[in-house]
Amino acid sequence: MFKRWLLALVARVGLIVLGLCCCLFLFYLLACKPASHSSQQSLSWSAGATSKEGYMALLQEREESHRHYMNSLSKQIAQLKEALQERTQQLQETLEKAKTRGILPQGLESLHKTPTQTDMKEFLRSQLSQAEVNSGVKLPSEYAVIPFDTFTLRRVYQLRRG
């Protein structure tokens, strides 16, 4: 008798909990329903998404929006190029004025000379000297260095810069 009563109680509680979960789920769906962007778009999708004309219309709309976006980006690029050209012209004018007055800051003299082959070689040598590890045990090749295998308290082998 007690088992029947307990079984009936568990079944009733289970049905009530299931009903509450279903109600909560329906309320959630109604509350969080995404708003459509436009009724025309939803009509085009529902009415003719499977037909060739509907697909072509959607494709043409998408193409027009991409074309509009490309035009706006090209306008922005043109404006940025103009601004860059104006700024470089202003910078050159101020550098020329400073050069004529003789108050050119140190380090800016290299702006007026063209880069040569020796400058590039000097830069590469400095980068190479920074990258090389000059202390420690000589290894036969770079393949002898295994990460975390040759790590000691005295030396760390640098595998990559940066």
Q: For the chain, which residues make up each domain, given as ranges?
A: 47-100
Q: pLDDT by residue (tens digit) across 25-66?
A: 998 888 887 765 554 555 545 555 578 888 999 999 999 999
The better pLDDT of the pair 89, 125 is held by 89
Residues in the chain: 162
Q: What pTM, to 2 d.p., does this model score?
A: 0.36
Residues 6+ apart with CB under 8 A from 44: 54, 57, 58
Q: Residue 47 is inside which H or E element, if any?
A: helix 39-48
pLDDT number for residue 100:
83
Binned at pLDDT 50, 70 and 90, residue 128 comes out as confident
Find the mean pLDDT for residues 136-143.
66
